[in-house]
Amino acid sequence: MESCPVCKARFKENPVCYRCGTDLSTLLGIERRAELLEQRAVALYGAGNLGEAWRVAEQALALKRSPLLCRLVELLAREMLNSMVQNKVTLVSLLSALRH
């Protein structure tokens, strides 16, 4: 968080805004949860677990958007689509072979 969402004062690592006194601890917790989910989604992607990576990335995006998460979801969508197309080609080939 770069600034207080209430008064726009620069955030100074204290969970209470120095200018307006707003308690930012809940928002900071949400931000931290999103960061942890983002790290987990990247790790799952790296391990080849595309479905779980997608699910975790969507959870993180629901909390906070980041360029990394947006790119990861784009990559996951592309890879899962390619996998579905490849599976369809394999299925069509199998069905074709069974007919002959």
- Tens of pLDDT along 23-67? 999 999 999 999 999 999 999 999 999 999 999 999 999 999 999
Give the residue-averaged pLDDT of 3-10: 95
Distances (CA, A) of 14 to 28, 60, 63, 64, 96: 10, 24, 21, 20, 65
What's the pLDDT at 38? Answer: 97
What's the pLDDT at 93? Answer: 66
pTM over 0.75: yes
